[in-house]
Structure 1
Amino acid sequence: MNASSRTVPVPLKFGAIIGLIQAGVAFAVAIYLTVMDLTNATTRNLESDAAAANWIGVGTAIFIFILFGTVAAGAISLLRGRGWGRTPLVMMNVLLVPVAVYMAMEGLWPLAVVVGLAALLGLGGVLHPQSSAYAAESYGA
């Protein structure tokens, strides 16, 4: 049975929507970093005499666009009923759990709670038994 002819389970949609929100926030940060670099409005604590130090924000933004672009593409694919997309969402959310722990250790509790909850809820949605059964059926298992 073709995955696109079936209804995407609600938990999988939920996990994909969380992934899209995470990607949107990351894209906003990437745009901010790019604007800061292009306008020379630096407020960083970066100590470097290298010429490339002026482009760290743009370099980071490119990395963010590639990484979270994959997450967004996976989430959109899942929402459209295609089989591809769970792995980028799982990997990103698994990586965000220790990021949230680190934020908490540094005293950024409100942000840590938001990031941690988003990661755990995203994992719960994408790895939910209904989502896993849907993925298995997509591949003929």
Structure 2
Amino acid sequence: MRFSAVVVLVQCAAMFIYAASLIVSQFTEHTSTLESQSPAANYVNIGTATFLAIIFGYIAYAAVSTLKGNPRATGAIVLVEAILAGVAVYMFRGGVPLLGAATLASAVLALIGIFHPATREYNEARYAQRKARRTQ
């Protein structure tokens, strides 16, 4: 489980770097390639960076709390990993196979750790402890 948390934190770091690059490009050489007459089309980079920071900020919080021995939001992590696996497919089709392979490999590694039998046993033991405390 902790291995998955480390993999997820590396993914989050990569997304935060990408979000930072979007913010930098927004205020430096940004020219929109969107086919839109809306003035909002000029702010896609900052909007995307904000969205990524919110989503991956929460996922990073879940991974850090897992590393501290208090796993949370495993479902959210599984959802993000499934999305990243789908994104990897589009990376292969889009002509960046090495980045697609790295993305797919990290998603698979994180999912293997989350669904590992030892992780399930740990989560079941924690649930039993919480349930016992409620009934006392």
Q: Is this a same-fold pair by TM over 0.5?
A: yes
Q: Are 2:28 and 1:45 equivalent residues in the alignment? A: no
The corresponding residue for 2:8 is 19
RMSD of Structure 2 on Structure 1 (CA): 1.5
Structure 2: unaligned runs, 5 residues or longer: 130-136
Higher helix share goes to which structure? Answer: 2
Give the alignment of 1:69-84 within 5 angstroms.
69-84=57-72
Give the alignment of 1:82-93 within 5 angstroms.
82-93=70-81
Normalised by the length of structure 1, the TM-score is 0.85
Q: Distance in 1 between matches of 2:119 and 2:19?
A: 31
| % identical aligned pairs | 35
Matched residue count: 129
Structure 1: unaligned runs, 5 residues or longer: 1-11
Q: Distance in 2 between matches of 1:57 and 1:103?
A: 19
Deviation of 1:85 after TM superposition, in Å, equals 3.2
SS for the counterpart of 2:128 is: coil
Deviation of 1:135 after TM superposition, in Å, equals 1.0
Q: Distance in 2 between matches of 1:55 and 1:106?
A: 24
AA matched with 1:29: Y
Q: Are 2:107 and 1:119 equivalent residues in the alignment? A: yes
Q: Are 2:75 and 1:95 equivalent residues in the alignment? A: no
Q: Contact between 1:78 and 1:85, CA under 8 Å: does it hold in 2?
A: no
Normalised by the length of structure 2, the TM-score is 0.88
